[in-house]
Amino acid sequence: MASPDELPLRPELRGRSPYGAPQVPAAHRLNTNENPFPLPAELLADLGAALGHAALELNRYPDRDAVELRAGLAEYLSRTSGEAIGPRQVWAANGSNEVLQQILQAFGGAGRTALGFTPSYSMHPIIAAGTGTGWADGHRRADFTIDAEQAAAQVRDTAPDVVFVTSPNNPTGTAVALETIGRIYDATTGVVVVDEAYAEFARAGTPSALTLLPGRPRLIVSRTMSKAFGMAGLRLGYLAADPAVVDALQLVRLPYHLGSLTQAAARTALAHTDALLATVDAVKAQRDRIVAALPVMGLTSVPSDANFVLFGHFLDQAKAWQALLDRGVLVRDVGLPGWLRVTAGTEEETDAFLTALGEIAPDHR
């Protein structure tokens, strides 16, 4: 079998490995920031009926513009942010990864550059490479926060076409102040994408960038149903922006990109938003429990507004990762020296994680 590198592959893809967390069997899988709670029974029942109904029309192409679904998403965003967001401001695709890819197809591409503040979601540079977009690393402080002044200066110097701001940030959990996002926006003529995949887990007083949308036609806020909604398997991501952004994305989206079963399932899920999001407080409580337990073990964490915690410091995080796995707990080594990332989930998962961590901490910190 030939390796991809022996094929006439695009040079920027040569030698790369596909993205993905190592899928290692473990009793407690706390490595991909999923929501561990099962879907509410009444949603499951409604899903069966809705999918059965949608299946009757599977000989037809889906609604290309997902009008009903976008109206439901707009209603959810308006209700939770207090910002009036209309259906023409919302766009949906198969996971927010596809939303981000469409953004780069429309606003990035050959000869253009995207900038993101590293360390952040590692798919941003990968999607940039896949769309032929150049990449620039923006700086963070040692505590992983973004200095507004420095960020704006760097954006001005680099003149990127697309700026990614992940808030709350993956893998650090760090939320970005709205004022910083505003400063970054003012420093660029490109589009600014605030990736809010984890927004629903933010602590009180950490507002969404949705409130910045009025008067900022180059600002895009992306969201997903994979995390707080607990529907990672559905593959439903979406964004809110000026209607002109949505019109631009329709130039690059594949026709009928969002299947009718996906649209039906997502619409049904939105009708059960309150029951679905009832798990968010439970997850946040486990996150805060992890944060509180770490100092007792001589460890520390980065303040988190997400459903995960970046924790350390370890002498060698790869060895600490293996020691936790040996005790049945799978966390994520994101390649940051001294740090590991753990997903907050059920109380039982936190029990198992903290017990294992207590055992290994003395040998690894």
DSSP string, 274-296: HHHHHHHHHHHHHHHHHHHHTGG
Number of residues that bind ligand PMP (CB under 6 A): 13
CB of 232 to ligand PMP, least distance (A): 6
Choice from 91, 107, 121, 164 touching ligand PMP (CB under 6 A): 121
Q: Does 262 interact with ligand PMP (rule: CB under 6 A)?
A: no
Coil, helix or strand for 193?
strand
Choice from 35, 81, 131, 224 touching ligand PMP (CB under 6 A): 224
Residue (154 or 170) nearer to ligand PMP, CB:
170
Dihedral sign (CA 29, 22, 176, 109): negative
Q: Does 301 interact with ligand PMP (rule: CB under 6 A)?
A: no
Helices (H), the chain: 41-55, 67-81, 95-107, 123-130, 148-158, 178-186, 243-249, 260-270, 273-293, 317-326, 347-364
C-alpha 145/C-alpha 348 separation (Å) is 31
Residue (224 or 304) nearer to ligand PMP, CB:
224
Q: In terms of C-beta density within 10 A (0-12 exposed, 13-18 middle, 19 or more buried), how is residue 84 classed?
A: exposed
Q: Does 95 interact with ligand PMP (rule: CB under 6 A)?
A: yes
Tell me which residue of 250, 4, 12 sits closest to 131, measured CA to CA.
12
Tell me which residue of 79, 104, 124 sits closest to 253, measured CA to CA.
104
Choice from 81, 131, 226, 301 touching ligand PMP (CB under 6 A): 226
CB of 99 to ligand PMP, least distance (A): 8
Residue (241 or 354) nearer to ligand PMP, CB:
241
Q: Does 161 interact with ligand PMP (rule: CB under 6 A)?
A: no
Q: Please, what's the largest Cα pairwise distance for the chain? A: 61
CB of 272 to ligand PMP, least distance (A): 19
Q: Does 174 interact with ligand PMP (rule: CB under 6 A)?
A: no
Q: Does 102 interact with ligand PMP (rule: CB under 6 A)?
A: no
Question: Given the rule CB under 6 A, which residues bind ligand PMP?
Answer: 33, 95-97, 121, 166, 170, 195, 197, 224, 226, 232, 237
